């Protein structure tokens, strides 16, 4: 008979639903959606509701929490009080600190303390890439920029395991000729994310190279006036911006684009990059966190935060006649659902 467990999700992201599927096969699982993007009052109410659920879930032996943030601290505290095991998944935002980009829970004193308490008092941490434990971002700063929970939280000794994310969508049946365009996907919850995702470098190139076609997906409409004022996107006929696309439309765009660019300053293990490669795009990405791990032997790495170097790599990528099926198979093999499930089973067995 399967044991019981609770899963707490701050958003409804695809990669979180993957873990919900895996854990649902191992436990009698009950999921609580906290909807972090809602109002502060609504979010607080859902966190309190999650604590009430934990209090009355007498049969639940373990709890699983995505992200070390506001919500994780009270849930871990209560689980410890009730002598239940608690596992925290981290994926990037909770292992970073870039105040100039508004990136990372550790930019806020209160959120940092919540994350630190949760991570110090939980049973086990599960990271989707080793850079989220302890690393230096040499791409951003040649002298090193500290990243990872063990670098940012003094005295943290909770054990952690690295288990890569998984792709669960199917690759295309056929790989057709591509449009010579460069696709980039990156959300912008704050204005500074425009630079953090490397959009600024690509705009520089688009301005110099009217012969190249660019497509951006994920820039929130509320930032467009300010972005246009600073970067002049409206004056670039070779650039198309989609504020949001459904999964079907996004995958169709990936299947028609020749190159996918991920010139981010800060990342975890980017799912969009994995999905673009699964659809056969040639990747060009920065030497940051999990980006080199995903690209492997099938693309180009940007060594410095420099638009001239990025332009050169994009030209090389566009000139290729690649084996797109091999790119896709590489992702399907290395980042399979079976591998992530086996990793989680191993952690839980300990």
What is the per-residue pLDDT for 189? 80
Q: Are residues 340 and 26 in contact, defined by beta-carbon separation less than 8 angstroms?
A: no
292-344 per-position pLDDT tens digit: 999 999 999 999 999 999 999 999 999 999 999 999 999 999 999 999 999 99
What is the per-residue pLDDT for 193? 84
C-alpha span between 315 and 300 (Å, rounded):
11
Pick out the chain residues at pLDDT < 70. 38
Domains of the chain from N-terminus onward: 4-166+336-349 (3.40.50.2000), 179-334 (3.40.50.2000)
C-alpha span between 200 and 272 (Å, rounded):
19
C-alpha span between 130 and 332 (Å, rounded):
20
Choose among 160, 158, 203, 162: nearest CA to 182.
203
What is the per-residue pLDDT for 42? 84
320-332 per-position pLDDT tens digit: 999 999 999 999 9
What is the per-residue pLDDT for 12? 75
What is the per-residue pLDDT for 11? 81
What is the per-residue pLDDT for 41? 82
């Amino acid at each position: 008979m399967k044991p019981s467990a609770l899963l707490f999700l701050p958003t409804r992201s695809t990669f979180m639903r993957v873990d919900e599927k895996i854990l649902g096969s191992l436990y009698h699982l009950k999921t609580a959606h906290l909807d972090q993007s809602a109002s502060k009052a609504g979010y607080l109410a859902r966190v309190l509701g999650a604590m009430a659920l934990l209090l009355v879930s007498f049969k639940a032996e373990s709890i699983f929490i995505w992200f070390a943030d506001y919500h994780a601290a009270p849930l871990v505290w209560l689980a410890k009080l009730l002598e239940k095991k608690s596992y925290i998944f981290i994926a990037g935002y909770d292992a970073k600190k870039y105040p100039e980009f508004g990136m990372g829970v550790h930019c806020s004193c209160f959120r940092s303390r919540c994350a630190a308490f949760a991570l110090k008092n939980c049973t086990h941490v599960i990271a989707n890439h080793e850079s989220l434990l302890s690393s230096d971002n040499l791409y951003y700063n040649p002298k090193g920029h500290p990243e990872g929970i063990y670098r940012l939280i003094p005295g943290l000794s909770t054990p952690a395991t690295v288990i890569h994310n998984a792709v669960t969508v199917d690759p295309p049946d056929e790989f057709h000729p591509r449009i010579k365009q460069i696709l980039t996907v990156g959300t912008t919850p704050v204005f500074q994310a425009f630079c953090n995702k490397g959009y600024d470098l690509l705009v520089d190139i688009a301005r110099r190279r009217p012969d190249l076609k660019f497509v951006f997906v994920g820039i929130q409409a509320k930032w467009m006036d300010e972005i246009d004022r600073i970067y002049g996107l409206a004056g670039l006929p070779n650039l198309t911006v989609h504020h949001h696309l459904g999964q079907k439309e996004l995958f169709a765009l990936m299947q028609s684009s020749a190159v996918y660019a991920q010139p981010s300053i800060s990342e975890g293990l980017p799912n969009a990059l994995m999905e673009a490669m699964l659809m056969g795009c040639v990747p060009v990405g920065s030497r940051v966190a999990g980006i080199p791990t995903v690209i492997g032997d099938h693309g180009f790495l940007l060594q410095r935060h420099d638009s001239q170097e990025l332009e050169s790599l994009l030209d090389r990528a566009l000139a290729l006649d690649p084996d797109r099926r091999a790119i896709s198979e590489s992702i399907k093999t290395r980042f399979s659902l079976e591998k992530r499930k086996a990793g989680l089973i191993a952690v839980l067995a300990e």
